[in-house]
Structure 1
Amino acid sequence: MALGLPNAYSQQSNEPEVSSQAGIEEVLVTAQRREQSLQDAAVPVQTFDQDQLTQAGMESAQDLGLLSPALGVSAGGGPLTSFFVRGVGALTVNPLTDAAVAQNVDGIYLGRSSGAAGQAMYDLARVELLKGPQGTLYGRNATGGVVNYIPNKPVLGENSGYLQGEVGNYSKIGLQGAANVAVSDTVAIRVSGNSLDRDGFSDDGTNDQDSYSLRAQLLFEPNDKLSVRVAADYSEVSSTGPGGDLIGTYANPTGAPNGPSITDFTPSGIPISTGPTDPRANELRTSVLHTPSFAPFQPIDPNDLYQDISWTGFMAEINYQTDVGTLTFLPSYRESEQDYQFSGPGFAPAKTQEENNQTSFELRFATDLDGPLNGILGAFYIDEEISTSTVFAQNFASPIQNYDNGGDSWAIFGQGTFELTETFRLNAGVRYTEDSKFADGISDTFVTFCGGAPFSGNFLTPPASFGNGCASGAMPAHPVTSDRDEFIQYFVDNGLIAPDSEADIPGRGRPPFYDLTIPGGISPVLGTIVNVGDGELTSELDYSETTYRLGVEWDWADDNLLYATFETGYRAGGVDLSTVSPTYDPEYIDAFTIGSKNRFFDNTLQLNAELFLWEYDGQQVTYFTTLDSASAFPIANADATIQGLDLDMIWAATSNTTIGLSMQFLDATYDELTLVSDPGRGRFGCASDGVTNGIETYSCAGNEMLYSPEFGADLNLNHIVNMGNYDLSLTAVVSHRSEQQTNFLFLDETESDAYTMLNFDATLFADNAGWSVSAFVRNATDERFSVNSNVSNRGLNYTIYSPPRTYGLRLTANF
């Protein structure tokens, strides 16, 4: 229910937002599918306008985790982005998993969470963060909440716009702007764009930005009843991409009775912001032996890391007003083409080529009746088609997956409010959803074994592997390709395996194997490549669920609202290309909320509070582990309890001074969570439950959920200095978060330390001149904390850190 502090001036309009009577401006939201005051919306929602996003340095939606104590964002390899609200979320490492926090761009649901990487923060009316399940109005995949990106729309009868340029350290150059053109009394268009280029925060060039986005809208209102708006958008990212620092290594199993623990950690001593391809990181990397090849890992080449990704969208919004309400129709089509390689937990690298598209339709009718009952009725449909080719290359292990997946979903819903009296209301809603999912593909896992295949009797482990020459550097590394035939052909073309070798499909008896032609010092061959993958896998699943909401609202004074709600959420189960967990169950959440929204002292003090208790059943947990001697991403189901208190305050202390404070106290703990690995290979900070059927299980109950700090707070201060024909707006933001876990390994080293971060912004406005100039410093004390951590199955810990101190100048001109 937090509300971001309004800036004293809007940099895109140069108009004051705080009145001369020091009153707090009203903020309008569409969180409940109709426009209303944020203070009248009986839901926990936080908003950020364009000026707040700009001042905070939001380069894309992947940065939003810095804005709210309730929101955590894990930006992994390439465009992979995972959102968490109070610990509720999912690591969406591939398109086989859905997000648990729904994202909507201009009212259109994004089926793939990777779309956040292409969502630049420009020409937006606001971003809305709805906290908690939104199972009625938003439906599936909103168990944690919803993020709405709402662009500025065309305005009839107005010719206006803005241009904004920003320069900063790390050679940053950012440009954005928009133009609104009144074509006629009934037609207007709005065109906007954004371009961003910045060197990498890491010395090797990773964690950089090179992107641009365009958006075009046309509004047609032939009369006061009909409104038609069509829009198209395009975004492209061509940067090196994210990269973690090699902060240290974990011990590997030796088989000795008193050997080191697999969770024993040795810091690397390599400074942060050096990047995964730094020579010191590569030197440490090449000192570690892969298993079961027992050959040293190869260095990561910076030229192997790249992103070439685009997103395209088309949509329309048709509104027709009747005497009893408004009918809204939203058809859309979106597609994305993705080609990227990233290092992740020391991948060499991981490569993904993906094409996805979605078609969706939503029809709503919002009533506007004179009686006590009003509400919304609607229907929704989406169809997704995805084609993926990927390999998580590890030099001597290559999990290759080629598959098509997708499905469709439809729902009908309704929500209404009944006024028992002028001040007391009942609220209820229900939604019925049916989901169909499919996956069809081939899962290969090519693994090199020292000396020979395990079933040959020639497989060698240390110390015999050293005598066979496996650690000598002679073992040929795998090519980085997601084409299974091309993989085998590479070894054939280089004379490394038999010339008649073919990429046989595994899962049909004894695994396909390919002896290397290089002789060993002990065994007949140096090593053998074995395909231990699952082979052809096909799955089709259908799910259905009814979610609902119940609530009461009481206006105990003119500017004071007290409400209580109970809402359920649902995320469909799915399919995975794995024999260990070929399917996973749906997840459910029940959320109890008691909230209050208040204005006091002649509209100068806003005080909101929310007390919440969520019961999370079957959270879909995607985690990194070792299965069949190779990296794997199985999916488990977990139960958790989330409870806490959210407090938010805005005080317009004077006509020139505004103070805002948002705080969250949170307890988010797993009640049940079981993870698996090969015996002795699970690097979890959890107790082992033993080995059954060749699989070791670990009980991780009692651990805190990911991205769920026990305490978070944001303090915002804004003061305007009047200087004759000029005004100077001074803004300071102090943000604090306590420790929070970033990885389902639950290790001490994957926990992000507590931090306190300071941002400063000074903006000079000239009265009625239409321009402003700003100087800013973000993360003024250069506080660095981990936002994402990855640990390879051989114990290499690569951690991505928050941005360093940045500073620069910004010039905005309005016309």
Structure 2
Amino acid sequence: MRNAPVIRVLLAGAATLAMTATAQAQQTPPSEAPPAPIEATPTEGAATTAGTAQDDAGQLGDIIVTAQKRATGIQDTPIAMRAFDGDQLIKSGVGDLNGLTRLAPDLNLTTETLFTRISIRGVGSQDVSETADGALTINIDGEYINRPVALNAALFDLERVEILRGPQGTLYGRNSTAGALNVIAAKPLLGDVSGFATVGYGNYDSKTAQAAVNLPLGDKVAVRIAGLHSDHDGYTNNAPGGKGDTGNSDALRASIYAEPFDRLKLYLAGEYVDVNQSAPSQFGVQVSATSPGLVTLPSGAIVPSQFKPTFDRDSYPLADVGFFRTKQYAVRGRADLDLDFATLSYIGGYRDVNVSSRQPLNGYVPAVFTYYNNRIDSDTQSHEIRLAGGKEGAFIWQAGGFYYKESQDIARGLFLPQAGANGSFLNFFYRPYVDSTSKAAFGQATYWVLPDTLSLTGGIRYTDDQKRARYDNYGFQFNSGPTPPADGSAGAVTTFPRQDSSKVTWNAGVDFKAARDNLLYAKVSTGYKGGGFDNVGDYAPETLTAYEIGSKNRFADRTVEFNVSAFYYKYTNQQVQVLLDTSVGARTLNAGKSRIWGIETDSTFVLSDRDRAHLTFNYLDAKFTDFPGAVSGLNGTFPIDLTGNTPPQAPKVTIAVGYDHTFPIGDGKLVASGFSRFKSQYFLTPFNWEAERQQAYTQTDLSLEYSAPGDRFSIQGFVRNLENERPLGYGFFTGGGINVYNFSFGAPRTYGAQATIKF
């Protein structure tokens, strides 16, 4: 981590600059009406205010979102979604995607080995192989993020985060069967000297620092520099191997915004992320012919479907905790040109991701199976050109094209120290190239049959995906030691797999705004996720058709908010990954059909000028209705029928309750907050075995925050996950002679304090 000290110095410098600039800002006020940031164009984006906050009249405030790639109020947007502004993210300690689950209880996110799996409404990214794509479209300022390891990027200095539920197959297109997650970084502001600095400390020797400063360069240019450092000791005692589940991240972003002339807006940002920590800790249990809970299936497979081990989630011995290191470099930008009749926009980004790791897999002493020489490097670029015009409330339209390219270079092997005097590789895989390209053209329009009241929306997108690779697969390397065979040496089985797929996705909807604060909507939308291949063969794309009705409302002089949606999904060829044979690695199977339906409600209540409450209730019913699969048992690989099982990460009931009370203290205030979320039981794999069942649980966050007059300074004490509940993040049985059950767990209770200064 040679660059980490540099980032920490820059953070300290940014904090010092923030203090200095405060005095300057007091002497030189910003212009009365600084130009809006680049997102506040006629077609997209604007600065937000806290959607759950109260305005000066004690009413619920508004939040402006860009879920439709144009600026709309969240209550006027016919999409089931959540949005959080930068202040909410800082106060909740959100520094990465895992932290978002504290704010969005219906976002199901787990990390297993090195990869992040995300699920919404029972639709998720269960395949994390090199040719698989995520089911949730994730982008940072329009830069498309595809690799599960790249999702470990830090989240800092954000304007807001938007989480869209349901397929977004027209405007976001590629692989959006689950929805979309839009991360919007804070942009430089013209004519404005501003910034903030936040520092925090907590248990597990947790240290966090985040700072940003915004400086104008004349009247037409502004720059913003922001940085983050976060580290903590291991959450798990894995002696003699050491502390597992440590954290250590540094990140830096520099951005520039310019309006060289009235019709043109330009934005460019460069970002660096450095993560250096232990590999995700795994607890393992050896399964044998005498283990309890074994079941013999009609096919003859002997599987531990009723096996239920007991374990201490905070402490278990490992010989080695491994390591996980990633460095990411990203450049992204945007240009908007006003053509009078429409706005022409370009949004693009490039990201270089370098990953190295050593991942112990058996989960107990002595070290047995370990991913050695585990390297996953990727270069990605995405480009979108969009033309948008029309008049809100009458007729609006947008059309454009999208291009995405990804190149990966991968090497990894499964090492067994006990095989031979020096240890042996059970397998070793080289992927000198895994190339993917995706091209799309799209268009969408909304026509108001009754001005500002009744509208019809239709959209269509054509996507063409191509994937090519070279696979060099080395089998058992007896007594090789931890040095793998050189790529290109004798003994490899080389193949050149490829997969092409294309799809037309569309949406159609009707919206009725009965009054200023009452919206009814109904829509049909489709989603598509491209196919791919593994060591054995290719697998088909997955497709989803979603039917949804919903309503967004505010009542009682905008002091009560009630939103509800109901949906039904027809899901075909859902991609599910399983490990059947260590000689070929993971396999991806297509579940024939799935059926998913549910009801979601969100309510917010302004009970008084000092009291606010929030309630979320979600009900989800998800089933595989046709899934002939395969299973690796203690005695080999056999077919298995998974029809009737529940998809992974699909809790039937999710409930969240929040309450805030404000105590005036002079001209300042003290805010006491509580937020608790409940999830009913769910499974981590499509097999639905007992050991992979996460029982129902609750997690509660509490905080007490004092804000000085004008909110220029605040200090907060917090406890997160009061119950100290560490839910299963991963649970999987590897048979075929290895016969090990592995598990990983979520974060434990954390507590601490943080202080923020703004100017």
TM-score tier (shorter): 0.7 to 0.9
Alignment of 1:120-131 (within 5 A): 120-131=154-165
Q: How many angstroms does 1:485 deviate by?
A: 3.8
Match of 2:334 among 314, 317, 324: 317
Which whole-Å deviations, capped at 9, do the CAs of 1:509-530 have from their partners, x for residues lacking one? xxxxxxxxxxxxxxxxxxxxxx
Which residue in the other structure is 1:505 paired with?
491
2:371 maps to what in 1? Answer: 350
Pair 1:810-2:757 in alignment? no
Q: What's the CA shift for 1:66?
A: 4.0
- Which secondary structure does the structure 2 equivalent of 1:393 belong to? strand
Cα separation, partners in 2 of 1:797 and 1:679, compared to 1, 3 Å: closer
SS in 2 for 1:180: strand
Correspondence for 1:604 among 559, 562, 570: 559
Aligned residue identity for 1:400: F
The 5 Å alignment of 1:300-379 reads 300-302=319-321, 305-344=322-361, 346=363, 348-351=369-372, 352-369=374-391, 372-379=394-401
Q: Higher Cα Rg: structure 1 or 2?
A: 1
1:53·1:121 contact (CA, 8 Å) conserved in 2?
A: no
Matched, 1:405 2:434: yes
Moved more, 631-640 or 318-327: 631-640
Residue identity over aligned pairs, in percent, reads 27
TM-aligned CA deviation for residue 719 of structure 1: 1.1
Quick one: distance in 2 between partners of 1:220 and 1:268?
59
TM-score by length of 2: 0.86
User: Residue 22 of structure 1 aligns to a residue in which SS?
Assistant: coil
- State the SS of the aligned residue for 2:475: strand
| Normalised TM-score (structure 1) | 0.81
- Asked whether the 8 Å contact 2:127–2:588 carries over to 1, the reply is no
Change in 2 beyond 3 A, CA 1:622/1:13: closer
Q: Does 1:708 align with 2:679?
A: no
Give, as a single letter, the amino acid of the residue that structure 2 aligns with 1:729: V
Residue equivalent to 1:440: 470
> For residue 598 of structure 2, what is the aligned residue in structure 1?
644
Q: How does 1:99-118 map to 2 (within 5 A)?
A: 99-118=134-153
Of the structure 1 ranges 635-644 and 605-614, higher mean CA displacement relative to structure 2 is found in 635-644
Distance 1:262 1:133 in 2: 36
User: Does residue 89 of the first structure (1) align with residue 97 of the second (2)?
Assistant: no
Kept in 2, the 8 Å contact 1:245–1:273? The answer is no
How many equivalent residue pairs? 689
Task: Identify the residue that residue 659 of structure 1 maps to in structure 2.
Answer: 613
Aligned amino acid, residue 435 of structure 1: D
RMSD: 2.6
Shift, 1:798, TM fit: 2.5
**Mapped partners of 1:593, 1:372: distance in 2:** 24
Cα shift at 1:14:
12
The CA distance in 1 between the partners of 2:105 and 2:172, in whole Å, is 23
- The one-letter code sitting in structure 2 at the alignment partner of 1:37 is G
Mapped partners of 1:792, 1:136: distance in 2: 39
Contact 2:295 2:304 survives alignment (8 Å):
no
Amino acid at match of 1:484: P
For structure 1, the residue ranges without an aligned partner over 5 or more in a row are: 1-11, 283-299, 449-475, 487-501, 507-534, 683-694
Deviations 1:351-384 (A, max 9, x none): 3212210122100111134883211111100111
Contact 1:640 1:668 in 2 (8 A): yes
Counterpart CA distance in 1 for 2:702 and 2:634 is 49
Give me the whole-angstrom Cα distance separating, in 2, the residues matched to 1:55 and 1:371. Answer: 36
1:567–1:591 contact (8 Å) kept in structure 2: yes
| Closer/same/farther in 2, CA of residues 271 and 238 from structure 1, 3 Å limit | same
Which residue in 2 is equivalent to 1:741?
683
Q: Which has the higher strand share?
A: 2
1:250 aligns with 2:281: no
* Matched residue, 1:46: 82
2:573 matched to 1:618?
yes
Which residue, out of 556, 559, 565, partners 2:517?
559
Alpha-carbon displacement from aligned partner over 1:63-92 (angstroms, at most 9, x marks no partner): 3334334321121112x1121111211234
User: 1:697-744 CA distances to partner (integer Å, 9 max, x unpaired)?
Assistant: 100111111111000011111111001133101110011000011123
Displacement of 1:17 in angstroms is 4.0
Deviations 1:395-416 (A, max 9, x none): 4562211011112111110000
SS of match in other structure, 2:277: coil
User: Which has the higher mean CA deviation after the structures are superposed, 158-167 or 384-393?
Assistant: 384-393
Tell me the equivalent position of 2:535: 577
Match of residue 214 from structure 1: 252
Separation in 2 of the partners of 1:752 and 1:735? 15
Name which of 430, 444, 447 aligns with 1:418. 447
Tell me which residue corresponds to 2:660: 718
Q: 1:22 maps to what in 2?
A: 58
Of 197, 203, 211, which residue of structure 1 is paired with 2:231?
A: 197
Distance in 1 of aligned mates of 2:739 and 2:758: 53
Alignment equivalent of 1:225, drawn from 260, 263, 266:
263
Distance in 1 (CA, whole Å) between partners of 2:146 and 2:743 is 28
Over residues 658-683 of structure 1, what are the superposed CA-to-partner deviations in whole Å (9 max), with x where a residue is unaligned?
1111111000111122222467646x
1:271 aligns with 2:324: no
SS class of match (2:100): helix
Write the distance in 1 (CA, Å) between the matches of 2:687 and 2:384: 40
The alpha-carbon distance between structure 1 residues 16 and 383, as it changes in their structure 2 partners (threshold 3 A), is closer
SS in 2 for 1:59: coil
CA–CA distance in structure 2, aligned partners of residues 485 and 590 of structure 1: 46
Distance 1:16 1:746 in 2: 38
Q: CA deviation at 1:270?
A: 4.2
Q: C-alpha deviations, 1:14-60, integer Å up to 9, x for none?
A: 99942232100101111111111001111111112233333433331
Q: Hey, what's the Cα distance between the residues in 1 that align with 2:173 and 2:262?
A: 31
The one-character-per-residue Cα deviations of 1:70-116 (angstroms, maximum 9, x if unpaired) are 321121112x1121111211234332211111110111111223221
Counterpart of 1:62 in 2: which secondary structure? helix
Compared CA separation, residues 563 and 168, structure 1 to 2 (3 A): same
CA contact (8 A) 2:464 2:501 kept: yes
Paired residue type of 1:624: L
Superposed structure 1 runs of 4+ greater than 6 Å apart: 12-16, 253-260
Q: Is the 8 A contact 2:306 2:690 kept in 1?
A: no
Distance across 2 between alignment mates of 1:439 and 1:616: 28
- Asked if the contact 2:301–2:638 (Cα under 8 Å) also holds between the matched residues in 1, the reply is no
Give the deviation of 1:134 after TM superposition: 0.7
How far apart, in 1, do the equivalents of 2:58 and 2:720 lie?
28
Amino acid at match of 1:430: I
Counterpart-to-counterpart distance in 1, 2:655 and 2:308:
31
Deviation sequence 1:270-300 (CA, Å, 0-9, x none): 421225xx1xxx5xxxxxxxxxxxxxxxxx4
Structure 1 CA distance, aligned partners of 2:73 and 2:388? Answer: 17
Q: 1:572 to 1:264 in 2, by over 3 A?
A: closer
Q: CA deviation at 1:484?
A: 2.4
Q: Which of 451, 456, 459 is 1:429 aligned to?
A: 459
What is the distance in 2 between the residues matched to 1:417 and 1:746?
43
- Give yes or no for contact 1:251–1:264 (8 Å, CA) kept in 2: no
Contact 1:75 1:81 in 2 (8 A): yes
Q: Which has the higher contact order (CA 8 A, sep 6+)?
A: 1
- The residue that corresponds to 2:485 in the other structure is 484
Q: 1:34 to 1:192 in 2, by over 3 A?
A: same
Within 2, Cα distance between the matches of 1:61 and 1:71? Answer: 10
Whether the 8 Å CA contact 2:579–2:632 is kept in 1: the answer is no
